[in-house]
C-alpha cells in the first residue's frame, strides 16, 4: 500500500494524543517535569538567593539559568535521536509526557462542587494547584472567576501549545516549549522574589504560548460569536495581560456573558488587571460552563484534525496510477 509511505505521522500522532487527552486523565502525564520543577527551585536558591542584588545581576543570572535549563536537556535528547533507530517512538514518548491532561478540568469541577455546597474554605484549598494568586481572601465569585481564567489559559498552554509546537518541529520543539513553560512557572515573575530573575523566562514563554492563545480564542469566538469577543478585546486597557491573553479572556467573557479580569493579589501585593466583558460577575455555574466550552473546543480540534487527515488520505487514494 504505497500511500502508507506518504503518511504524515506527526499529525496522526497529534490527533491520537488529542483524542487520548480528551477522553482520559493520562497516567503519569508530565510526571518527569515534576522532578524538573523541584530541581529548578533548588537551582534558583543557589543562583538567586535574595533580591538585594542589582536588577541587572538578577536578570543576567535568570537568563543564564534559563539557557542551562533549555540547552542541557535538549542536547541530551538530541543525542538520543542521533543514536535511536526508532525516532518516532521518541517523538511519541515526548509528546505523551509533555501534553496536558484533563486533570485541571477535574480539579476545577471539584472546586465548583465545593462552592455549590457552600464550602468556600475547602474550595480555596482545592483550587491551590490551579491558582498562583492569593486565595485566602477570595469570595465565591472571586474564586469562580479565578478558576475560569485558569481553565481557559491552562487549556491553551498545556494542550494547544504543545500540539502546535509538536506539529512544527516534532518532539524536540514540544520538549523545548515544555521546558520553557516549567521554568516560567517555577520562576514566576508575578512573585516579588522572581520579578527580575524570572523575567527572561516569562518573556520567552509569552512569545512561545502566544500562537496557542490566539488559536484557542478563535475557536471560542467561532463557537459563540466573533463580534462581541472583538468588542470586549477592544474595550480592555493594556494594563496587565498581553494581547494574546486579552484576546482569549475577551472571547471567554463573551462566551460566558460575564466579566473576567480585575485586580488580583500575588504574595500579598495587589496587582491591577484590566476587566474584560460587560455582563454580570461570574458564578460557580460558569466554572462548569467553561469546562463545557473547553471540551467543545477540544472536540472541534479533533474534528479539524480528523477531517484534514481524511482529505489528505483520500487525495492519495484517488490518485490514478499510470498504466
Range of the domain at 256: 2-317
* pLDDT of 38 strictly over 60: yes
Between residues 177 and 167, the one the model is more confident about: 177
- 320: pLDDT strictly greater than 50: no
Predicted confidence band of residue 28 (pLDDT cuts 50, 70, 90): low
Domain-embedded: residue 322: no
Compute the C-alpha angle 265/269/273, nearest 5°: 50
Query: In whole angstroms, what is the distance from residue 322 CA to residue 115 CA?
Result: 67
pTM, rounded to two decimals: 0.88
Mean pLDDT in residue range 159-175: 91
User: Residue 155 pLDDT more than 60?
Assistant: yes
pLDDT score for 234: 77
Q: How far apart are CA 237 and CA 243, in angstroms?
A: 10
Look at residue 164 in the predicted model and tell me its pLDDT: 92
9-18, 272-281, 314-323: range with highest mean pLDDT: 272-281
The burial class, CB within 10 Å (0-12 / 13-18 / 19+), for 226 is middle
**Residue 68 in this model has a pLDDT that exceeds 90:** yes
Q: How many domains does the chain have?
A: 1
- Grid cell in block for residue 318: 484517488
Per 3-state DSSP, the chain is made up of helix, strand and coil in percentages (nearest 5) of: 70, 5, 25
Q: Which three cell numbers stand for residue 3?
A: 500511500
What are 276's strand-pairing partners?
Answer: 260
In a domain, 323, yes or no: no
Above 80 in pLDDT, residue 7? no
Please give the full DSSP string across 40-67, using - where no structure is assigned: HHHHHHHH---S-S-HHHHHHHHHHHHH
Q: For residue range 217-236, what is the model confidence (pLDDT) as tens digits? A: 998 888 777 787 778 777 77
**Per-residue pLDDT for 270 more than 90?**
no
d(CA 164, CA 174): 8
Residue 197 belongs to some domain of the structure: yes
Is the CA virtual torsion 221, 225, 226, 228 positive or negative?
negative
In a domain, 277, yes or no: yes
pLDDT for the residue numbered 152: 93
Is residue 110 within 8 Å of residue 145, measured between CB atoms?
no
Query: Does 115 reside within a domain?
Result: yes
- Mean pLDDT of all residues in the chain? 86
Whether residue 259 is predicted with pLDDT greater than 80 in this model: the reply is yes
Amino acid at each position: 500500500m504505497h500511500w502508507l509511505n506518504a503518511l504524515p505521522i506527526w499529525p496522526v500522532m497529534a490527533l491520537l494524543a488529542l483524542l487520548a487527552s480528551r477522553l482520559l486523565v493520562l497516567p503519569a502525564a508530565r510526571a518527569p517535569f515534576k522532578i524538573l520543577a523541584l530541581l529548578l527551585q533548588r537551582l534558583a536558591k543557589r543562583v538567586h538567593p535574595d533580591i538585594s542584588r542589582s536588577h541587572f545581576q538578577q536578570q543576567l543570572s535568570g537568563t543564564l539559568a534559563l539557557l542551562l535549563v533549555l540547552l542541557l536537556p535538549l542536547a541530551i535528547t538530541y543525542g538520543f535521536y542521533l543514536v535511536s533507530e526508532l525516532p518516532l517512538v521518541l517523538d511519541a514518548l515526548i509528546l505523551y509526557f509533555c501534553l496536558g491532561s484533563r486533570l485541571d478540568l477535574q480539579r476545577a469541577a471539584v472546586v465548583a462542587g465545593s462552592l455549590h455546597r457552600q464550602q468556600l474554605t475547602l474550595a480555596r484549598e482545592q483550587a491551590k494547584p490551579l491558582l498562583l494568586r492569593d486565595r485566602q481572601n477570595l469570595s465565591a465569585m472571586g474564586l469562580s472567576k479565578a478558576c475560569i481564567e485558569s481553565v481557559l489559559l491552562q487549556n491553551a498552554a498545556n494542550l494547544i501549545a504543545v500540539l502546535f509546537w509538536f506539529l512544527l518541529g516534532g518532539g524536540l520543539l514540544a520538549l523545548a516549549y515544555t521546558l520553557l513553560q516549567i521554568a516560567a512557572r517555577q520562576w514566576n515573575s508575578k512573585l516579588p522574589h522572581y520579578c527580575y530573575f524570572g523575567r527572561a523566562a516569562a518573556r520567552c514563554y509569552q512569545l512561545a504560548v502566544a500562537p496557542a492563545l490566539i488559536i484557542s480564542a478563535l475557536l471560542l469566538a467561532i463557537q459563540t460569536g466573533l463580534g462581541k469577543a472583538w468588542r470586549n478585546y477592544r474595550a480592555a486597557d493594556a494594563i496587565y495581560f498581553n494581547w494574546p491573553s486579552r484576546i482569549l479572556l475577551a472571547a471567554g467573557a463573551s462566551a460566558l456573558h460575564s466579566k473576567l479580569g480585575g485586580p488580583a493579589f500575588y504574595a500579598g501585593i495587589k496587582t491591577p488587571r484590566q476587566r474584560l466583558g460587560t455582563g454580570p460577575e461570574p458564578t460557580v455555574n460558569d466554572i462548569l460552563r467553561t469546562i463545557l466550552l473547553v471540551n467543545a473546543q477540544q472536540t472541534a480540534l479533533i474534528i479539524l484534525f480528523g477531517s484534514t487527515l481524511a482529505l489528505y488520505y483520500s487525495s492519495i487514494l484517488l490518485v490514478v496510477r499510470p498504466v
